[in-house]
Amino acid sequence: MTRSTCPYCGVGCGVLVDARGNVAGDPAHPANQGRLCSKGTALGETLDQPGRLLHPEVDGKRASWDAALDAVAEGFRRALAEGGPDSTALYVSGQLLTEDYFAANKFAKAVLGTANIDSNSRLCMASAVAGHKRAFGEDLVPGVYEDLEQADLVVLVGSNLAWCHPVLFQRLVAAKAARPGMRVVVVDPRRTASCDAADLHLAVAPGEDVALFNTLLRHLHAEGLTQPAPGLEAALAAASGTPALPAADLARFCRWWAATPRVVTLFSMGANQSSAGTDKANAIINCHVATGRIGLPGAGPFSITGQPNAMGGREVGALANMLAGHLDWSVPGEHAALAEFWGAPGLATQPGLKAVELFQAAGAGRIGALWVMATNPAVSMPDAGAVRAALERIPMLVASDCTRESDTVELARIRLPALGWGEKDGTVTNSERVISRQRGFRPWPGEARPDWWAISQVAQRLGWDFGWDGPAAIFREHAAVTTLARPAARVFDLAGFTALDDAGYAALAPTRWPVPAPGAQGGRLQPTARCVPTPPRLPENATSAGFPLALLTGRLRDQWHTMTRTGLVPRLMAHVPEPLLSMHPDDAGSLAEGALARVESAWGSAVLRLKLDPAMPPGSVFAPMHWTDRFAPAARINPAVNPAVDPISGQPELKHTPVRVLPVPMAWHGFVLARRPLPTDLAEWSARLPLAHGVWRHELAGQDAPAAAFARLRAMVAEPDAAWVTLDDAAAGTHRAALLRDGRLLAVVFLGATPALPARDWLAGLFAEERIGLAARRALLAGRQADGAAPSPTICVCHGVSAGRIAGAIAGGACTLAQVGEATAAGTGCGSCRPEINALLAAARVAEPA
Ligand SMILES: Nc1nc2c(c(=O)[nH]1)N[C@H]1C(S)=C(S)[C@@H](COP(=O)(O)OP(=O)(O)OC[C@H]3O[C@@H](n4cnc5c(=O)[nH]c(N)nc54)[C@H](O)[C@@H]3O)O[C@H]1N2
Ligand SMILES: Nc1nc2c(c(=O)[nH]1)N[C@H]1C(S)=C(S)[C@@H](COP(=O)(O)OP(=O)(O)OC[C@H]3O[C@@H](n4cnc5c(=O)[nH]c(N)nc54)[C@H](O)[C@@H]3O)O[C@H]1N2
Ligand code: SF4
Ligand SMILES: [Mo]
């Protein structure tokens, strides 16, 4: 049994893994105490995935590690010679381990001599970091997870905790069930699954958060609840603006907050990913600082991190505006102390390019060499069309990744195979500052190697010997950096780890920093804090002629980012099988549910299937960030997303782009089920997903003649000795075919004039059978399920229970979550689906005649 840490979100759950790769929650880990969410539960299914990058490649050809590392070193050498240090760059990720992250930062700043190392954390945590620095002088999260359980009021700002930090959400829900007096407020333009726990939902318009917390600050002051704090007067003077919310809701929010000393305000991407992201963070923190509700049990502002090691990246300083170990250029003496410690006279002397600037510089031809590690910017950056063009322009693009099949890896000149979860060894730090070990429990596949090793090998070729024999040595060096002379006092302190030996590192138990001495455990922090003026501003490009809607983007419960891992797990694809654009019915006009719709902005466009959703605020549409070239090329949303950034943090406005939505007329809609994945350019629009039994589903739509498309698709899946059964009625617009060999189903091709096509689930189930029976064969092309049940999405992935079955149980008398669980098993596994079951129960209650 190996103890490790989940590689997905910033909750940082501990896991226990056995030799066969079975994963369970670690009861001894402070973050989850044994719980796991749907993604954590399915971790075992992400091992042994196809498409791994297993050996280095140079210019599309397999190469030895030596040759590839030589080529990387040579690429950097050339860029340094031709354009100087600032024509070189690294773009890294909160999914690196702390040790890999430390190595990357040292390589950029000490070896290359540039601070052009930025991270996908720029898209994620940069505004929170900047907010913390303005308020606390240092990037500190004062609270701990228990505060969410001990609070009497928890406010979730721009956080869909139920889907994005599900285990923390479950802890919150359990605390609320135990103490019903506790209240939860959700501040989000959308009514999300997290609203299941909410006593109040404030559907702010996108970008109104500063006005909301300014209103709260004024209220707290008027009620005499503020106490003297540095900057308070200036913050009050600037605290203007009122959000356009129902007056009673706004008043209730202010009243609750004012009356509740134990209050946690947790904020996430709805706050950070904004051109006013830093101000949003400070507007929130101001209210806590002004009332002294910070660093106390159940009280404080709480920035939740996204990625498993977003916090670790900040600790090692792998962002363009930071040095290592919370050291800073702006404090005299700190740069010199680090330069001396590393023996790096050429240590970068000033901040470098932040992510959006970096790719703009690359697009302008100013970057000669870029090393991308553990991130997929071709998909995840805003204005992704321009980013893709920039990546193509870089003379030496290196990508280190576990998969061969990411959109960015595809573009790279040099590809380096990295170890993934279960193979790599090191540490991560979660949202509450707890450092945990990720431990390898599987052999290294192919020629994959740790990222730190590849970095130190290239450094060696550039004349640097990092002298590390493993991650423990790097961790000690990282700890030592936190003990350097720091003229400005810092809380971040790992002195207690500087002498940790290899055995101690191997056995390291979850430890919260600061760790000033061996064995120490950090707790809540009460930083010296100040208030910061936050005058409200509208989102950048808030209004734009011809683009009347606001595009919000974000995450789905069972997908992780660019789907390189979760997109290959059938049961994680079952929840939302296709890329959907959610829109309030009032905005739909002539657009129909299920039709394809083009989201168009000043930067680019994407085509998704339309879902009319009353939980959306009128005037906004929502698209998931997940789909890529590999899964649904036309549905990549980020080419349409605007690259405006927060002026302080440089974090892009990923949550607000002015758009219009137009119908996309198609001559036909259809789907293909086959026993292998087919290319994604099968039709003008396609989205593919894996199903059980090795079957792939391809949702398609095209503008060519249906009969021609039908013939073309059948030819693509045809096999020798197999026979087609077809139902081809051009007049009725019905084109259906099934390919069988000896009664075994090989492929199904269905085309029609509209998106309303027969259910796929039942057809897909027939692929499991060795010989399909006569009744099923008759039903096959009729496209009717044998039992006539309607298709519906899978809500509970642990037990494969669809919305339809849950609705059936409710209709049959189940009135509570527990009763639905008894009837169907839904919700009795990891629990991630409970908010959605509750929503179905609530909808049924509303629908009941009075
Ligand atoms: N399932 C899943 N979980 C994940 C991830 C994943 O990919 N999948 N990724 C992880 C990572 S890296 C991150 S950063 C976190 C993100 O976690 P979250 O921040 O919780 O997730 P998002 O869906 O990006 O955005 C949160 C909410 O912000 C709302 N929002 C948009 N604009 C505004 C606004 O102006 N004000 C307010 N108040 N709200 C607004 C959106 O409607 C959305 O519901 O999730 C982590 N966990
Ligand atoms: N529109 C829109 N865009 C967004 C967001 C949004 O809300 N809306 N959110 C933004 C946010 S918060 C984030 S965090 C980003 C995430 O976006 P990305 O970082 O681009 O997304 P991932 O798909 O997680 O890419 C991680 C890659 O790292 C690889 N990998 C995993 N572990 C390792 C390792 O140890 N070493 C190496 N070398 N490779 C590894 C994986 O195989 C995968 O290909 O997206 C951002 N983009
Ligand atoms: S909440 Fe889920 S995704 Fe996040 S760390 Fe825990 S198990 Fe992993
Ligand atoms: Mo993130």
86 Cα: distance to centroid of ligand 1 (angstroms): 33
**Bridge partners of residue 652, in order along the sequence:** 645
Q: How far is it, in rounded angstroms, from Cα 202 to Cα 212?
A: 10
| Protein residue with least CA distance to atom 3, ligand 1 | 164
Q: Other CB atoms closer than 10 Å to residue 846's CB: what's the count?
A: 7
User: Span 126-303: which CATH code?
Assistant: 3.40.228.10
272 Cα: distance to centroid of ligand 4 (angstroms): 10
Q: Is the CB of 476 under 6 A from ligand 1?
A: no
Q: Other CB atoms closer than 10 Å to residue 535's CB: what's the count?
A: 16
CATH architecture of 549-663: Beta Barrel (2.40)
Work out the pLDDT band at 787, boundaries 50, 70, 90.
very low
Q: Is the CB of 605 under 6 A from ligand 1?
A: no
625 Cα: distance to centroid of ligand 4 (angstroms): 11
What pLDDT digit, counting tens, does each position of 465-484 carry?
A: 999 999 999 999 999 999 99
Residue of 43, 53, 123 to mutate, ligand 2, most atoms within 8 A of C-beta: 123
Work out the pLDDT band at 488, boundaries 50, 70, 90.
confident
Helix, strand, coil abundance in the chain, percent, nearest 5: 35, 20, 45
Is residue 523 within 8 A of residue 282, CB to CB? The reply is: no
Mapped onto helix, strand or coil, the DSSP state of residue 736 is strand
* CA-to-CA dists, residue 692 to 21, 570, 609, 674, 762, angstroms: 19, 6, 23, 12, 12
Q: What tokens does 718 get? A: 């045809």
What pLDDT digit, counting tens, does each position of 413-459 carry?
A: 999 999 999 999 999 999 999 999 999 999 999 999 999 999 999 99
User: Span 1-48: which CATH code?
Assistant: 2.20.25.90
9 Cα: distance to centroid of ligand 1 (angstroms): 11
44 Cα: distance to centroid of ligand 1 (angstroms): 25
| Protein residue with least CA distance to atom 17, ligand 1 | 164
Q: How far is it, in rounded angstroms, from Cα 433 to Cα 304?
A: 11
Q: Is 783 a residue whose pLDDT tops 60?
A: yes
Structural fold of domain 50-123+309-512:
Rossmann fold (3.40.50)
Q: What tokens does 818 get? A: 């527990």
**Bridge partners of residue 623, in order along the sequence:** 553
Ligand 1 atom showing the smallest separation from residue 268 Cα: 19
| Protein residue with least CA distance to atom 1, ligand 3 | 167
21 contacts: CB under 8 Å, gap ≥ 6 = 44, 47, 422, 441, 442
What pLDDT digit, counting tens, does each position of 58-71 carry?
A: 999 999 999 999 99
Q: How far is it, in rounded angstroms, from Cα 24 to Cα 34?
A: 7
Q: What percent of the chain has pLDDT over 70?
A: 98
| Protein residue with least CA distance to atom 28, ligand 2 | 374
pTM for the model: 0.95
134 Cα: distance to centroid of ligand 2 (angstroms): 27
Q: How many CA atoms lie within 13 A of 675 on its CB side?
A: 15
209 Cα: distance to centroid of ligand 1 (angstroms): 15
381 Cα: distance to centroid of ligand 2 (angstroms): 10
811 Cα: distance to centroid of ligand 3 (angstroms): 33
Mapped onto helix, strand or coil, the DSSP state of residue 524 is coil
| Protein residue with least CA distance to atom 19, ligand 2 | 375
Q: Is the CB of 206 under 6 A from ligand 1?
A: yes
Q: For 153-157, 204-208, 286-290, 393-397, which range has the lowest pLDDT when averaged over its residues?
A: 204-208
Q: What tokens does 375 get? A: 């991130």
| Protein residue with least CA distance to atom 46, ligand 2 | 380
Q: Is 337 a residue whose pLDDT tops 50?
A: yes
pLDDT at 849: 54
Ligand 2 atom showing the smallest separation from residue 553 Cα: 8
Q: Is the CB of 40 under 6 A from ligand 3?
A: yes
Q: Is the CB of 187 under 6 A from ligand 1?
A: yes
Determine the angle formed by the axes of helices 451-461 and 65-83, rounding to 10 degrees.
60
| Protein residue with least CA distance to atom 22, ligand 1 | 554
Exposed/middle/buried for residue 588 (C-beta within 10 Å: 0-12, 13-18, 19+): middle
Q: Is the CB of 163 under 6 A from ligand 1?
A: yes
The residue to which tokens 């005299």 are assigned: 332
Residue of 9, 402, 555, 628 to mutate, ligand 2, most atoms within 8 A of C-beta: 402
Boundaries of every domain in the chain = 1-48, 50-123+309-512, 126-303, 549-663, 668-782, 794-847
CATH architecture of 794-847: Orthogonal Bundle (1.10)
What pLDDT digit, counting tens, does each position of 563-575 carry?
A: 988 888 888 888 8
431 Cα: distance to centroid of ligand 3 (angstroms): 12
Residue of 8, 161, 434 to mutate, ligand 3, most atoms within 8 A of C-beta: 8
pLDDT at 304: 98
Ligand 2 atom showing the smallest separation from residue 555 Cα: 7
554 Cα: distance to centroid of ligand 1 (angstroms): 5
Is residue 32 within 8 A of residue 454, CB to CB? The reply is: no
Work out the average pLDDT over 182-210: 96
Order the strands of the 300-303 sheet from edge to edge: 200-202, 183-187, 153-157, 263-267, 300-303
